[in-house]
Amino acid sequence: MNETEIQKMCDKLGVPNAPLVESGIRTTLKFFRDVLWEDPFQWCDYIRGIDFHKPVYVDHLLAGTRLSRHTSLSPGRDKPFVYYTKPGTSPFRTGTSFEESEYEIFEVPQSIGSPIDALVSYASGIKFHPGDRVSRLGGGLQYVLSHEDSKQLIKLERTAT
């Protein structure tokens, strides 16, 4: 990956090319290519949900790690990745507040062979369209796992919201 590619993503997202931003974008581009096997430029609408003014890093999730997510009951775009957060995080802090959703809690199993790689970042504030009146301030910690890795998680709880 070269500096031109990082600058291209900065321009596409409308963020400055400051050192912390560049570091986060570099980490995100590498994760999309090396873990998800995807062209990150095809997923800019989702990458825009990362607050690059805060640290972005890859963490290795160990057995016993608990994650949660708010899942829309309406069909969405198929993605090669799944968003998670820490249990107790408001969906308004992660941009996952849907009209109808389920709240789920997962755990990395004790039998996991090797740690699961996750792209860890903070959610940016987001509006889904110009007339969107729902306040999604961002700021929640978010974990991006590959769709394949998320299949390894054990679902502990599911609640309709």
Give the integer Cα–Cα distance in Å for 96 and 83: 9
pLDDT digits (tens, 9 = 90+) for 27-46: 999 999 999 999 999 999 88
Query: Which 3 state secondary structure label does DSSP give 151?
Result: coil
User: What's the pLDDT score for residue 127?
Assistant: 57
User: What's the pLDDT score for residue 64?
Assistant: 93
How high does pLDDT run on average in the chain?
Answer: 85
In this structure, are residues 113 and 85 in contact, taking their beta carbons and an 8 Å threshold? no
Other C-beta atoms closer than 10 Å to the C-beta of 96 total 24
pLDDT digits (tens, 9 = 90+) for 59-97: 999 999 999 998 766 676 688 999 999 998 777 666 655
Note the pTM of the prediction, 2 decimals: 0.87
What's the per-residue H, E or C state across 26-95? HHHHHHHHHCCCCCHHHHHHHHCCECCCCCCEEEEECCCCEEEEEEECCCCCCCCEEEEECCCCCHHHCC
In this structure, are residues 90 and 84 in contact, taking their beta carbons and an 8 Å threshold? no
User: What's the pLDDT score for residue 26?
Assistant: 96
Band of pLDDT at residue 126, cut at 50, 70 and 90 = low
